[in-house]
Chain A
Amino acid sequence: MAQVQSTNIMTAKEGDKVISSVGMIVTLVSFGMLFLTLMMAFALYRFTAPVWPPAGMTRPDLLLPTLSTLMIFLSSFFYVKFEKNTSTGVVDKKNLTLTLVLGLAFMTSQFLFWSHLKSQGIFVSSGVFASIIYAFTWIHAAHIVVGLALLVWLFGALNSGDKLAAVKVSSVGKFWHFLGIVWLIMFVTIFVL
């Protein structure tokens, strides 16, 4: 039964592109709803509080979150270049490495931000604003860790000359850009506004 008709391989390759983009879009809708619910919770706290930030808390310093935003924006930028090269058949490890390094830099910046908050005496239990800052950045960071693992996994796919490499690159790209957009929304609404 293991015989494979040669015509099927052609169509299957075309099909892999379709199924992976359908699958990835549905997955991102799911992830989107997770973050949307968190943003809804934030909006509710924000608009029902008489003063914001509540409980005498001061707004956190914007320097490190701005740095994080810059990092994740640049990493997405290099990923776009990488994806473009891959689709034309070029194995472009330089831009993928840049994406990975900037992703790690984003995580470093987040760690520095958490320890900065800690040094200011803002802990996770110091009121609802602190809870929001910590919990939301944790949840986002957990997804970033998955994203970084996927970037590392792409190196393997590129090395082995996988026929599906272009499909994988495009799927991981969707996820990575999605995380960038989520961070941008969180940065603007929670930290800036």
Chain B
Amino acid sequence: MAFFEQEIHDAPSTFLSKYVFSFDHKVIAKQFLWYGIAFLGIGGMMALLIRWTLAFPGEPFPVLGQILFPDTNGVVPPDTYAMLFTLHGTIMIFYAITPILIGAFGNYCIPLMIGARDMVFPTLNMLSFWLALVSAILLLASLFTPLGGAAGGWTSYPTLSTLIGSAGVGQTLWCLALFVLGVSSTMGAVNYIATIITLRAPGMGYFDMPLTVWGLWLTAVLNAIFLPVLGAGLLLLTFDRVFGTTFFLAGAAATSGSGDPVLFQHVFWIFGHPEVYILILPAWGIVSDLLSFFARKPAFGARSTALSMTAITILSTVVYGHHMYSGQMSPLLTQSFMMLTMTISIPSAVFFANWLGTIWKGALRFDTPMLFALGVVFVFGLGGLTGLYLATVSTDLYLHDTYFVVGHFHYTMAASVLLGGFAGTYFWFPKMFGRMMNETLGKWHFWISMIGLNGIFMGMMIIGHAGMHRRIYNPFVYEFLQNLIPLNMFITYSAILMGSAQIIFVYNFIHSMYKGPVATQNPWNVGTLEWTIPSPAPHYNFAEIPVVKCGPHEFGNPNLKGKDFQYQTEELVKA
């Protein structure tokens, strides 16, 4: 489409314009990365508090417990427990994964990979980050209100989230924080969509874009369409809480007229199911690219991978009902939603087979990014397959709201997305900071994380299948669950193991930023556009806008002499 060239701006000279109020997409990407990593730490600590409570009910949390809960001698109190799982979900989804995968990699990769000098709307981009920061302040402020933060679950169903279920200002601040974050993400989405449509380098058709950009683009489309749906729901919920409207009040809760609490569930999941794909699509894109890059083979069926991701994007909008099977939905509807949900398996199987086809007979290089990408293939396979039991009405009625669900969505949303994010971090770190990360520490980080997270989430699926419900403060007051105490302890030890692996990552990240070996222009020998410019990328990205002549995955061409890859700016070598 219409192509035009952005001007080269002067390099920012002051500290503020360079690092704080920067219009540069690369700086904004790093800001989002730090933001996300900080919240990953907070959300992870909350997860450890939850796990400790489930494995050792009634025992004080070591060290931190005495500081956080002096009234109970270090034991997590029940109301705090509800707040912890609510905010753990909220923070991990909206404040950790979204900023890292979409904010950081979206901002960093899109302009560099399509050969642009910046996003089309740099001011909007900066505003998007600062609104995200406002939202974070609102959310963290809710922790310091008299009754604490939101405690109605990350889904915040009424009546748990209306004034009846949670009094106090915490839940209201939660609603406002998410609304502001939604506005911020929508700004980002508008920017990404417009950038990819209008700023692709000359010669770059949609199928010449790396699959990372495809994933981020589809994510942006879903964000632009479905975040406002959540926004509308949150506005109505806020009105219910602040102004006394009766949208979600029914029965004795409403003084007059009648609202409908179930409406919020519909609105939430119309947004919520696409949100699942919003989180996973960038990781799919990154993994699809990395598998090809490190198998030194063209991505198997790259076009069909892109098209099946598009098909999933479309299908994801019509399956939300599978979250509500146990909500007295008519059997006709549950069957329809089951059929539609199962249909998603077809495009998923297509690109999964493409992943396997890509590494089949490849000359695999097991660098850290590749290990993480292969890790995603494994955990996403498991997460996807266990989803089938939850899509099927008959099994879901038994498994609904158990730890099986928790295990399933952590395999897909936490494990896959997190590993995908780490893969991207290790891969693009040289381009971001001009230095390499330590490979040995990276491999330790991978293996310990991998063992830890499989221990956690596999264990969760087992205890879920055994009947342990989620969101219960002390499940062992029920006699039939008391046999599960050792398994819960195993999960908690796995969680501690995984948490400690992240210390290696943080050390590696910060140490490599200053002391790592200086990166060459193209340390991974990859042909996409971001590797045609120096590391770290200069503020204008491309001195001369590149002209694209071949696809992003041209590896192992037998006609090539002396190297096994070619840049996208080079004419495809033919015999």
What residues of chain B lie closer than 8 Å to A55, measured between beta carbons?
256-258
In the bound complex, what is the Cα–Cα distance between A29 and B190 (angstroms)?
10
A54 touches B4 (CB 8 A): no
What residues of chain B lie closer than 8 Å to A127, measured between beta carbons?
246, 254, 256-258
Minimum CB distance partner of A4 in chain B:
B7
Partner of A57 from B2, B257, B266 at Cβ < 8 Å: B257
In the bound complex, what is the Cα–Cα distance between A31 and B229 (angstroms)?
9
In the bound complex, what is the Cα–Cα distance between A15 and B3 (angstroms)?
7
Partner of B235 from A11, A15, A139 at Cβ < 8 Å: A139
**Nearest Cβ on chain A to B195's Cβ, whole angstroms:** 8
Within 8 A of A (CB), among B164-194: 186, 189-191, 193-194
Q: Give a binary string over B254-286; 1 marks a CB under 8 Å from any A CB, 0 the rest.
A: 111111100100110010000000000000000
In the bound complex, what is the Cα–Cα distance between A23 and B122 (angstroms)?
13
The answer to whether the Cβ of A18 comes within 8 Å of any Cβ in the partner chain is yes
What residues of chain B lie closer than 8 Å to A31, measured between beta carbons?
228
What residues of chain B lie closer than 8 Å to A33, measured between beta carbons?
225-226, 228-229, 232
Q: Give a binary string over A35-50; 1 marks a CB under 8 Å from any B CB, 0 the rest.
A: 1111011001100110
In the bound complex, what is the Cα–Cα distance between A130 and B246 (angstroms)?
9
**Looking at chain A's contact residues, is the secondary structure mostly helix, strand, loop, or mixed?**
helix
**Nearest Cβ on chain A to B295's Cβ, whole angstroms:** 36
Minimum CB distance partner of A126 in chain B:
B256
A19 touches B120 (CB 8 A): yes
A41 touches B247 (CB 8 A): yes
Count, chain B residues at interface, CB 8 A: 50
**Nearest Cβ on chain A to B3's Cβ, whole angstroms:** 8
A131 touches B246 (CB 8 A): yes
In the bound complex, what is the Cα–Cα distance between A37 and B230 (angstroms)?
9
What residues of chain A lie closer than 8 Å to B233, measured between beta carbons?
37
The answer to whether the Cβ of B227 comes within 8 Å of any Cβ in the partner chain is yes
The answer to whether the Cβ of B10 comes within 8 Å of any Cβ in the partner chain is yes
The answer to whether the Cβ of A22 comes within 8 Å of any Cβ in the partner chain is yes
The answer to whether the Cβ of B6 comes within 8 Å of any Cβ in the partner chain is yes
What residues of chain A lie closer than 8 Å to B267, measured between beta carbons?
37, 40-41
In the bound complex, what is the Cα–Cα distance between A162 and B127 (angstroms)?
23
The answer to whether the Cβ of B8 comes within 8 Å of any Cβ in the partner chain is yes
Minimum CB distance partner of B226 in chain A:
A33
What residues of chain A lie closer than 8 Å to B191, measured between beta carbons?
23
Q: Give a binary string over A131-160; 1 marks a CB under 8 Å from any B CB, 0 the rest.
A: 110110011000000000000000000000
In the bound complex, what is the Cα–Cα distance between A54 and B247 (angstroms)?
13
Minimum CB distance partner of B186 in chain A:
A30
What residues of chain A lie closer than 8 Å to B258, measured between beta carbons?
49, 54-55, 127-128
The answer to whether the Cβ of B63 comes within 8 Å of any Cβ in the partner chain is no
Known contacts A37-B267, A128-B259, A135-B245; A26/B193 CB under 8 A:
yes
**Nearest Cβ on chain A to B240's Cβ, whole angstroms:** 8
The answer to whether the Cβ of A90 comes within 8 Å of any Cβ in the partner chain is no
In the bound complex, what is the Cα–Cα distance between A134 and B540 (angstroms)?
49
Within 8 A of B (CB), among A24-82: 26-27, 29-38, 40-41, 44-45, 48-49, 54-55, 57
The answer to whether the Cβ of A175 comes within 8 Å of any Cβ in the partner chain is no
In the bound complex, what is the Cα–Cα distance between A44 and B236 (angstroms)?
14
The answer to whether the Cβ of B349 comes within 8 Å of any Cβ in the partner chain is no
A34 touches B190 (CB 8 A): no
The answer to whether the Cβ of B157 comes within 8 Å of any Cβ in the partner chain is no
Minimum CB distance partner of B191 in chain A:
A23
Interface-centre pick from B197, B227, B257 (highest chain A CB count, 10 A): B257
Known contacts A34-B231, A135-B239; A15/B257 CB under 8 A:
no
The answer to whether the Cβ of A193 comes within 8 Å of any Cβ in the partner chain is no
The answer to whether the Cβ of B9 comes within 8 Å of any Cβ in the partner chain is yes
Known contacts A38-B232, A131-B239, A131-B259; A125/B189 CB under 8 A:
no
The answer to whether the Cβ of B17 comes within 8 Å of any Cβ in the partner chain is no
A interface, how many residues as a size bin? Answer: 35 or more
What residues of chain B lie closer than 8 Å to A106, measured between beta carbons?
none
The answer to whether the Cβ of B1 comes within 8 Å of any Cβ in the partner chain is yes
What residues of chain A lie closer than 8 Å to B62, measured between beta carbons?
none
In the bound complex, what is the Cα–Cα distance between A18 and B190 (angstroms)?
14
**Nearest Cβ on chain B to A31's Cβ, whole angstroms:** 7
A30 touches B232 (CB 8 A): no
The answer to whether the Cβ of B573 comes within 8 Å of any Cβ in the partner chain is no
What residues of chain B lie closer than 8 Å to A124, measured between beta carbons?
239, 243-245
**Nearest Cβ on chain B to A189's Cβ, whole angstroms:** 16
Within 8 A of B (CB), among A1-18: 1-4, 8, 11-12, 14-15, 18
B10 touches A15 (CB 8 A): no
Partner of A30 from B8, B10, B190, B198 at Cβ < 8 Å: B190
Minimum CB distance partner of B540 in chain A:
A1
Minimum CB distance partner of B2 in chain A:
A18
The answer to whether the Cβ of B473 comes within 8 Å of any Cβ in the partner chain is no
In the bound complex, what is the Cα–Cα distance between A161 and B437 (angstroms)?
51
What residues of chain B lie closer than 8 Å to A41, measured between beta carbons?
232, 236, 247, 263, 267
In the bound complex, what is the Cα–Cα distance between A32 and B193 (angstroms)?
17
The answer to whether the Cβ of B59 comes within 8 Å of any Cβ in the partner chain is no
What residues of chain B lie closer than 8 Å to A57, measured between beta carbons?
257
What residues of chain A lie closer than 8 Å to B56, measured between beta carbons?
none
What residues of chain B lie closer than 8 Å to A114, measured between beta carbons?
none
The answer to whether the Cβ of A129 comes within 8 Å of any Cβ in the partner chain is yes
The answer to whether the Cβ of B11 comes within 8 Å of any Cβ in the partner chain is yes
What residues of chain B lie closer than 8 Å to A15, measured between beta carbons?
2-4, 198
**Nearest Cβ on chain B to A146's Cβ, whole angstroms:** 12
The answer to whether the Cβ of B5 comes within 8 Å of any Cβ in the partner chain is yes
Partner of B193 from A8, A22, A128, A138 at Cβ < 8 Å: A22
In the bound complex, what is the Cα–Cα distance between A57 and B256 (angstroms)?
10
Partner of B4 from A4, A14, A27, A131 at Cβ < 8 Å: A14
The answer to whether the Cβ of B224 comes within 8 Å of any Cβ in the partner chain is yes
What residues of chain A lie closer than 8 Å to B2, measured between beta carbons?
14-15, 18
B235 touches A12 (CB 8 A): no
Minimum CB distance partner of B190 in chain A:
A26
What residues of chain B lie closer than 8 Å to A29, measured between beta carbons?
224-225
What residues of chain A lie closer than 8 Å to B193, measured between beta carbons?
22, 26
In the bound complex, what is the Cα–Cα distance between A1 and B258 (angstroms)?
64
B8 touches A44 (CB 8 A): no
Give me the 3 closest cross-chain CB pairs, A-B, nearest first: A127-B257, A15-B4, A131-B245
Other A-B pairs, 18, CB within 8 Å; known A49-B258, A125-B245 = A2-B9, A12-B5, A15-B2, A15-B198, A18-B1, A23-B121, A30-B227, A30-B228, A34-B228, A37-B228, A37-B267, A37-B270, A40-B267, A127-B246, A135-B235, A135-B239, A135-B247, A138-B239
| A residues with CB within 8 A of B | 1-4, 8, 11-12, 14-15, 18-19, 22-23, 26-27, 29-38, 40-41, 44-45, 48-49, 54-55, 57, 124-132, 134-135, 138-139
| 12 residue pairs from A and B, CB less than 8 Å apart | A33-B225, A33-B226, A33-B228, A38-B236, A44-B263, A45-B259, A45-B260, A126-B256, A130-B257, A135-B235, A135-B247, A138-B239
